[in-house]
Structure formats: structure tokens, C-alpha cells
Amino acid sequence: MGAFDPDGGVALGQAVGPAEWMTLQPEVLLSFVLWHLALLYAIPVVFWDYEIAVLTLRNRQNRRDATADVAWELDAVQARIVTIDNADVVQQTVDLLPDELSDVVVVAEAPIAVDGAKVLVVPPEFECAATNKGRAVEWARRTYSTDKEYVLYLDEDTDASSLTELGSNADIIQFRERPVRTVGLLPYLSEIHRIGFNVEQRSFPFFQIPFYAWGGGIAIRSSLEDAVTWDTPTIVEDSVFTWRAVLEHGATLEVADVHLANQAPPSVRAMIRQRRRWLTGTRQRHDMLPFHYRLLYDARDLGWALSTISPILWVASAASFVGLVDVSLLPVFFPEAYMILTLALLGHVYAWSVLGLSIYRPSVGVWVLLLVFTPFVVTVHSAGALYGAIRPAKTFVVTEKVVSAAGGDLGRRGVADGVVDASEADDRAASAALEDRA
């Protein structure tokens, strides 16, 4: 322990301050940076472990309690699909809905024709506190009431054909997601990795406040929707709605173990923008959360953002540990402890990849690719968070979705043609376009 070489500079016991140590000893500075990077990332990792522990304990308790089997049939659901004007993609989404789900509404920014659904066009003159998607769904809520118990919100490209019921009586039912590859391989691998991490979602019902509401779809009790409304400014509507519902109305949440498919971002750039929006959106509104939640959020966000640069360091530790290389990154301060910690962190990110792969069950090639490139995938996956932390997104940029060339097999194959990536436009252009529509 404390393998600091006194011959390299300041002798042990010599009276110097920390600043002088760092100036005189670059190794000390490096050690500080390394330890801080590792510890910051350790916070979300340890909390993830805590979530899984809570989930495991609660599941055991629930099994002991033999809780009742409660489910809503699909006649209790109105599906709402939100789009700007992507009629072809929406039509495919509507076609894939189960037949029992007969009440289908499309909320669009422009007149489009969709068979099997009622199309509601948001009038340009409509104004409220919400913007973008929030504004559209708020208008639909105000003008098109429903007698259905639940409103199920789907993205324009969601494949909900696996939906057979709502297996819960919670106020908010979050469906898990299964992003499918469109074009880019790296975003696809990143999504598999993310879905592995997102197993934490299953513990959210046991927490005072869910950390986010990202998923394949979200069903909201219509009475709760009317009580909470979407009328608040945010670029992460579902998460902020869920926070308000829980904080102001004591709403209950369940995470349905049903994966609804939607498209993975088509490019790394699009994915970075998406992550940037998520991080920015939650940080913009997390002031509504209790203090201890804000603290945890800050730590999670920081850890996530910094994991853009951390994996290479963990790999270096691992390589050094197994004797592949002699990486002298650990000159001072508990190198063994640092080694153990970074190996544990690296183990976690591999565990998330394996979890994601076990959910996806892709081809052997994808298994190999993700396992080989997991550290790099983590870096790419986190780049948007780092971007968002440094330069928060100012507006909601929509990544347009594509129609499956197979005409109905959305979600089960890659699509090479016709990808339109709104990330080609910069924030200002996208904002202007949205304002024009308004």
C-alpha cells in the first residue's frame, strides 16, 4: 500500500501541501484523477447493485405474499401514437397492433391518413406550457377524452404486437423496450448494452420515485393523466410526467415484463443526441425531486458522463492484472484497491452486456462483437451524456424512423434504405423547424 516512490521527488514526511504534491508529482495528480474517475463511476454502479438487491428481496416477499393476479384486457386501453407526419411508419405500427386493441388514435402535427386509427391533428395555434411532443399529447388529452381505463402511449415506430394485456392495476405501467437495429451496428450494440443496464427499471416500483420512464411504451390510467396533465415544459415528457404523478398524486408504477420493439438510433451521431437529450431533460427538471434524489442523480449523471473516458483505464488495469502488459498507472495510493475496484467496475459493464444479450438473444456474431467491444461500446453509449453535461440540449430533436422494407416486419430486421436522421440538422435548424410547425 502507498507505493509512492520517495526518490521521485518529495521525500516522505516532508511538510508540503496537497497542491505542491500535485505540482511536484505528476503521478500524484494522475492518481487523484484515476481514483476520482473510478469512485464517481462506482456510485451509480453500487446503486445499481442496491436496486437489484431491493428487486430481489421484494420479489421474494411478493412470492411469499402470493399477490393476486390482476390484469386489464385490451378493451380497457386506448393506444395513442405520436408522430409529426410520418404516415408510412405509423401505418405499419397500427397494422402491428393486436386486434383486441381497437381504440387507436394517432396524434399528428400534420394531416395524414392512417387506416385503422383516428387521426388527431394538433392545430398550429394551440399553445400551452408544454412543447413538442408534450404539447401534442396535451392537446389530445384536452380534446379527445376516453372512457378507457388506460391510455397507452407508443412511439411512431413501436411494434406492440407482443402485447396481450396490461398485467397490472398500477396507475402507470411502463413497458420495457427492445430497440432493433436499423443501420448502424455500433448504436445497436450500445442499445443491447443499455437494455442490460436497464434491468434496474424493474426495481423502480419499489422506490419512492422512479429514476426515469424510458421504455417501449407507457400506459397511464386516464384519470391520472387528467389529474397530472402534460402541461409542463420538458424534453423528457414521460419521466417528468411520472415524477409529477408520483410526487403530487401518489401514483403507483409497475414495470411490465413485456418488451416492445422500436428502432435503435440509426447512427452514432443520432444516439449521442438522444442520450444528450435524456441527460439534459432529466437534469433540467430534477429540481422537483427531493434533495437526496437530486444528489444521487448528480452522481449518476456524472458517473455516466465520465464513463466516456473510463473504460480504457479499467481495461488497462485488467491487462496489468493478468500480466498482459505492465501499465504503470498506479504509482501511488492503494494500487491494489484501485485494481480491485476497476476490475469490479469492468465486471459490471460486462455483466450489463451479458444481460442485454440474454434479453436479445442475437446471433453468435453479435455476442462476440459486443463482448469484445464492450469497453468501446460503453464509451460511445456515454458520449451523449458527456456532451449533455458539457453542453445541454436546448430543444427536442426528433430522429425520424423508417418503414421496414419487408412491409410489416418492423423490429426484426435492419433497414438500409430511407433512413432520415434529424441529427443531420443542428439544434438551431431543428428548433426553427418545430417553431415553423407551431
Which residues contribute to the site for other proteins (CB under 8 A)?
Answer: 54, 57-58, 61, 68-73, 75-76, 147-149, 165, 169, 206-209, 222-223, 250, 252, 292-293, 296
Longest dimension (CA), the chain: 80
In the bound complex, what is the minimum distance in angstroms from residue 194's beta carbon to other proteins?
A: 22
Of 292 and 361, CB closest to other proteins: 292
Of 54 and 309, CB closest to other proteins: 54
Report how far residue 83's alpha carbon sits from residue 130's, in angstroms, rounded to the nearest whole number: 16
Q: Which of 421, 403, 424, 362 is nearest to 91 (CA)?
A: 403
In the bound complex, what is the minimum distance in angstroms from residue 286's beta carbon to other proteins?
A: 14
3-state secondary structure of 210: coil
Report how far residue 301's alpha carbon sits from residue 286's, in angstroms, rounded to the nearest whole number: 12
Report how far residue 92's alpha carbon sits from residue 102's, in angstroms, rounded to the nearest whole number: 15
**Cβ within 8 Å of residue 132, ≥6 positions away:** 235, 395, 396, 434
Of 206 and 367, CB closest to other proteins: 206
In the bound complex, what is the minimum distance in angstroms from residue 251's beta carbon to other proteins?
A: 8
Q: Which three three-digit cell numbers place residue 244? A: 409529477
Q: Which three three-digit cell numbers place residue 130? A: 408544454
Of 293 and 376, CB closest to other proteins: 293
- Residue 237 near residue 138 (C-beta atoms within 8 A): no
In the bound complex, what is the minimum distance in angstroms from residue 69's beta carbon to other proteins?
A: 6
Q: Residue 258 is inside which H or E element, if any?
A: strand 253-263
Report how far residue 286's alpha carbon sits from residue 298's, in angstroms, rounded to the nearest whole number: 9
- Residue 162 near residue 63 (C-beta atoms within 8 A): no
In the bound complex, what is the minimum distance in angstroms from residue 177's beta carbon to other proteins?
A: 23
Of 167 and 418, CB closest to other proteins: 167
Report how far residue 150's alpha carbon sits from residue 157's, in angstroms, rounded to the nearest whole number: 20
In the bound complex, what is the minimum distance in angstroms from residue 320's beta carbon to other proteins?
A: 36
- Residue 50 near residue 139 (C-beta atoms within 8 A): no
In the bound complex, what is the minimum distance in angstroms from residue 57's beta carbon to other proteins?
A: 5
In the bound complex, what is the minimum distance in angstroms from residue 39's beta carbon to other proteins?
A: 20
CA 37 to centroid of chain Cα atoms: 22
Of 61 and 358, CB closest to other proteins: 61
In the bound complex, what is the minimum distance in angstroms from residue 250's beta carbon to other proteins?
A: 5
| Sequential DSSP letters for 386-438 | HHHHHS---S---------TTSS-TTSS---S----GGGS-HHHHHHHHHHH-
Report how far residue 346's alpha carbon sits from residue 313's, in angstroms, rounded to the nearest whole number: 10
Of 226 and 231, CB closest to other proteins: 226
Of 293 and 350, CB closest to other proteins: 293
Q: Residue 306 is inside which H or E element, if any?
A: helix 291-306
Of 173 and 370, CB closest to other proteins: 173
